Amino acid sequence: MPLDPTARFTDRVDNYVRYRPTYPPQLISELVTRAQLSPARSIIADIGSGTGILTGHLLPHAARVHAVEPNAAMRVAAERTLGANPRFASIDATAESTTLPPRSIDLVTAGQSFHWFNHAGARREFTRILKPGGFVALVWNERQTSGTPFLEDYEATLRHLAPDYARSRHALVNESIIAEFFAPDKYQLVEFLKTQSLDLEAFIGRSLSSSYAPNKNHPNHTQFIAALRSIFEGNAQNERVEMHYQSRMYFGRLTC
C-alpha cells in the first residue's frame, strides 16, 4: 500500500462510494443536538471528508460545510455527489493545514479519518480554526469482529490474507489517544449499533474498499476474492450477509 495516507484510497474510490456504510440517524441527531447546529448559521469543517459520507449527513444542518480532503479522487467523488448543494464547499487541504480562516468554524468533524492525521498537528489546526466554544466530533463505524460465524470467518480471512490489516492505522487509535487529544478537557462518547446487509457483490466491494484489503495488484488478491466467496456461501441467509458495526462518536471541546 502507498505510504502516503493521502493516496491510500485512490484505487478504491468506486467501491468506497458504493459500499461503505452510512452513519446511524440517531448518531447524527445526537451530534446536531450536542453541537447546537443551525441550518441558518452553523459553519462546519469536515476534515478528511473523503467521498462525502459524513458531509452529506451534515449539509441539512448547517449554513456551510467545508469538506477538507487531500485525496483528489475521493474529493472529486464528493463533488460529483454533493457539488450541486450551495451549502457544500470542497477544499483540497489536509487536517494539519486546512487553509480555513482562524476562528471561523463552529464544529470540526472527522468521519473515519482521524486515525490518518498527525494528531498534534491536527489539534493545533483545529484550535486555530474553531470559534471560541466550538466543538469537535470524531466519528467511526467500527466493524465488529466477533459475535456471529460470518464476522469471525471474515476476521480470520483478513488476518490471514491481508498483511496490512494488523498494521492498519485505525487499529492504533484507542481511547487513551482520544483522551490525550481532547486533554485537558473531557470528551463524551456516544455509541449506536449499525447493521449493513450485503449481497455477494456488495460484500466483495465493501471488503475491497478498505485500505488494507489486497487489491488487484496484490499477490493475495485472487485468493482473497476466493475466500470472500467461500465465506459468503457458508454464511449467507437469503443470499445476504450482515456486517455489524459499533458507530462511535467522541465529542468535546479543545482548550488551547
pLDDT in tens, 143-167: 999 999 999 999 999 999 999 887 7
Contacts of 81 (CB under 8 A, 6+ apart): 17, 51, 52, 56
Q: Give domain status of residue 60, yes or no.
A: yes
79 in any annotated domain: yes
Q: Can you tell me the distance from the alpha carbon of 33 to that of 120, in angstroms, rounded to the nearest whole number?
A: 28
Kindly indicate the confidence band of residue 3, based on its pLDDT and cuts at 50, 70 and 90.
very low
Q: How many domains does the chain have?
A: 1
Average pLDDT of the residues of the chain: 94
Domain, as residue range, for 92: 5-143+169-196+242-252
Q: Is residue 46, in this structure, part of any structural domain at all? A: yes
Which pLDDT score, from 0 to 100, does residue 146 have?
97
Per the domain annotation, does 30 fall within a domain? Answer: yes
Q: Give the CATH number, domain containing residue 91.
A: 3.40.50.150
Looking at the chain, the whole-number percentage of residues with pLDDT higher than 90 is: 89
Answer yes or no: is 59 within a domain. yes
* 176 burial level (CB within 10 Å; 0-12, 13-18, 19+): exposed
Residue 206 lies in a domain: no
Flag whether pLDDT at 170 surpasses 80: no
Q: What residues have CB less than 8 Å from 53, skipping those under 6 apart?
A: 20, 22, 23, 111, 112
- Residue 239 C-alpha cell reads as 443470499
What is the percent of the chain with per-residue pLDDT over 70, rounded to a whole number? 95
Separation between Cα atoms, residue 66 and residue 89, nearest integer Å: 5
Residue 235 belongs to a domain: no
Residue 209 maps to a domain: no
